[in-house]
Structure 1
């Protein structure tokens, strides 16, 4: 419920009262004596769902920018007339809240902090995310998401689009783009310091860390996080759910990938950096597209006679731009997803072929230790580099016939990848037990 207070300009008092009477609203009118060209002050309670409708009607009779409208929360209203009004504005038998367009703008602005605070919080988030990725620590990476204040800008930009508020829209997009830039720059600086200090050796393939690897070679599942974050963000804003939890979801889609860009740039791995950058842009577009679509479907848009069409065109323009950009940038994610499926198929086929070959009685002492499908380092669009089969045996030395059979069987499924056979040999002499690996020749 909301409690509304409106200062009524001279000459508009009766028009306002007529609207309130027609709507069946219980109101109080008092004279305004400040001498500032206001005739009266009107106060009345409203169901949350009715706020937007009533304010739009009052706007059409002259309650515009030259009036002051104050909207505050009301805990309880005891009035039969208000109960009737509440029933009339319920939808589908429910009395659930739908935040008014006017309150929505204010809420979006409140969620966007002052720029200096925004920069400081993002710098802290970038430091924590970079440290977490370098240390391969999921807990630390999650901590960086909690710190980042990204929900406000993401929602403000799209609230500004659908309500035709250019100031809110511009500040929202400016905050988003500057925020991503700040995180990437801070991550580059911290990663360079870590590398120069020897905390992470420069010759190491840094993307072997699981937390980093999944962000430099992303697949289509990454879209689910960003799209869900955009929808959930708007629902949290309009329905009064916890914005803090949804803010973590939005940060999860943006902060770690942006930090991954900085780390891979610091290591000179520009292919991996491009993969992470694509993920950042895809997630940014997905969050904004999902938020914009959710707002429009929920009916948030200017209601004036001459405002609807321009707002609709603007929303369609931004929606189309987000959609086209998303389709173009999602192409590498589709390639990675298809590679994941293909890798799984090759792994499954290789497992079956190895088991089939080792069923031969002459290999009864040979056991398969592992079958691995390894990818190359050509990020972000990688390919299968080699299939490595490790078998164990109690007899030293490789078995050329076994190697030939395994090569022939697996090569049918491995395309042009190298097939490599390794022997993990266990040799026992009395109480002396020795284990060593013999690596066979490789075949393409």
Structure 2
């Protein structure tokens, strides 16, 4: 429920009271004597769902943005006339009542903090995210998402678009762009200091860190997080759910990838940095497109005769920009997704061929320890580099034939030649005195341009 107080300008008293009577609203009116151009002050309670409809009607009667309108929450209203009005608008229940367009703009603006606070919180979030990625700590990365104030700008921009509030729209986009640049710059600085200090987890190839690897070579599944965050963000704003929880989801789509950009730039891995940057851009576009579409479908747009057309055109324009940009940038993600399927297929094919071969009597002494499909380091769109099979037994002479057989079978499932590397482990007793000790011998043999095996 809401309680409204409206200062009625001169010449609008009659039309305003006629609208309230027509709507069946229980109101109180008092004369305004301040001499500020108002003739009366009218106060009345409304069901939440009725606020937008009534304010739109009053707007056409002369209650515009320049008029003072106060909307506050009401705990209880005891009035039979209000009960009738509540029944009219509740349609059998009041749960999940839609926030009015006017209140929506206020809530979106309130979720956008003062710029100095916004920058400070993002700097802290960037530091925490960078440390979490370098330390390969999911818990620390999650902590960086909790403190990032990104939900306000993401929602404010799109609320401004569909409601025709240019200031709110401009603020939202400026905050989004500047916020991501702040996170990237802070991550570059901190990662550079870490590298100079010798903090290189996993060696020179920094992206072997699991928390980083999934963000420098993203696939199409990454879109689901960002699209869901955009929809959930608008629903939390319009239906009264927890914005804090949804804010974490939005930050999850933006903060870690932006920090990954900074880390990979600091390490000079510009291909990996491009992959992370593509993910950031795709997520930003996805969040904004999902939020914009959700707002428009929910009906948050000016209803006046002269406001609908310009705002609709603006909404379609931004939707087209977001959609086209998303399609263009999603192409690399589609390629990575195809590669993921190909990697899975190659791994499955190799396992099937090995299992089939080992069922034969000549290979009964062999045992496969692992099968691994390895990709190259050409980020962000990588390709299959080799398949590494680790086997064990007591006769390495069987391996060349088995290696060629597996290679021929695997290449039937791919258009490109695949390098197959078989590592063979031989365990032999060192001597009678130490029967439980094993001797390990190592050598590498190349059996062709596409296959090799290593005995150890």
Q: TM-score, normalised by structure 2?
A: 0.94
Partner SS state of residue 385, structure 1: strand
Q: Quick one: distance in 2 between partners of 1:91 and 1:417?
A: 64
Verify: 1:176 aligned to 2:176, yes or no: yes
Partner SS state of residue 427, structure 2: strand
Q: Name the CA shift for 1:400/1:56 in 2 (closer, same or farther; >3 Å).
A: closer
Quote the offset at 1:8 in angstroms: 1.1
Quote the offset at 1:412 in angstroms: 3.3
Query: Corresponding residue for 2:230?
Result: 230
Q: Quick one: distance in 1 between partners of 2:443 and 2:411?
A: 21
Query: Corresponding residue for 1:245?
Result: 245
Q: Quick one: distance in 2 between partners of 1:377 and 1:193?
A: 24
Quote the offset at 1:427 in angstroms: 1.7
Q: Name the CA shift for 1:175/1:250 in 2 (closer, same or farther; >3 Å).
A: same
Mapping of residues 300-379 of structure 1, within 5 Å:
300-379=300-379
Query: Corresponding residue for 1:255?
Result: 255
Q: Is the 8 A contact 1:426 1:435 kept in 2?
A: yes
Mapping of residues 36-435 of structure 1, within 5 Å:
36-91=36-91, 96-200=96-200, 204-395=204-395, 399-413=399-413, 415-429=416-430, 430-435=435-440
Q: Quick one: distance in 2 between partners of 1:320 and 1:399?
A: 57
Q: Quick one: distance in 2 between partners of 1:95 and 1:110?
A: 23
Q: Is the 8 A contact 1:233 1:247 kept in 2?
A: yes
Partner SS state of residue 390, structure 2: strand
Query: Corresponding residue for 2:454?
Result: none
Q: Is the 8 A contact 2:134 2:201 kept in 1?
A: no
Greater displacement, 28-37 / 241-250:
28-37
Greater displacement, 196-205 / 331-340:
196-205
Q: Is the 8 A contact 2:25 2:85 kept in 1?
A: yes
Greater displacement, 259-268 / 428-437:
428-437
Q: Quick one: distance in 1 between partners of 2:390 and 2:384?
A: 18
Quote the offset at 1:79 in angstroms: 1.3
Deviations 1:351-395 (A, max 9, x none): 011112222212211100111110111111111010111101134
Q: Name the CA shift for 1:206/1:420 in 2 (closer, same or farther; >3 Å).
A: same
Q: Quick one: distance in 2 between partners of 1:436 and 1:118?
A: 60
Partner SS state of residue 215, structure 1: helix
Quote the offset at 1:78 in angstroms: 1.4
Q: Quick one: distance in 1 between partners of 2:85 and 2:146?
A: 41
Q: Is the 8 A contact 2:218 2:336 kept in 1?
A: yes
Q: Is the 8 A contact 1:195 1:201 kept in 2?
A: no
Quote the offset at 1:403 in angstroms: 3.2
Deviations 1:259-278 (A, max 9, x none): 11111111111111111100
CA root-mean-square deviation: 1.6
Structure 1 segments unaligned to the other structure (5+ residues): none
Deviations 1:259-302 (A, max 9, x none): 11111111111111111100000000000000000000000011
Q: Quick one: distance in 2 between partners of 1:248 and 1:313?
A: 32
Greater displacement, 271-280 / 86-95:
86-95
Quote the offset at 1:398 in angstroms: 6.9
Deviations 1:43-90 (A, max 9, x none): 100000000010111111111133210000001111111111111112
Structure 2 segments unaligned to the other structure (5+ residues): 451-456
Quote the offset at 1:16 in angstroms: 1.3
Q: Is the 8 A contact 1:27 1:42 kept in 2?
A: yes
Greater displacement, 78-87 / 195-204:
195-204
Partner SS state of residue 328, structure 1: helix
Quote the offset at 1:114 in angstroms: 0.3
Partner SS state of residue 302, structure 1: coil
Query: Corresponding residue for 2:446?
Result: 441
Deviations 1:7-44 (A, max 9, x none): 11122222211111000000111122222222111110
Q: Is the 8 A contact 1:234 1:294 kept in 2?
A: yes
Q: TM-score, normalised by structure 1?
A: 0.97
Q: Is the 8 A contact 1:410 1:419 kept in 2?
A: no
Partner SS state of residue 330, structure 1: helix
Q: Quick one: distance in 2 between partners of 1:171 and 1:434?
A: 69
Q: Is the 8 A contact 1:422 1:440 kept in 2?
A: no
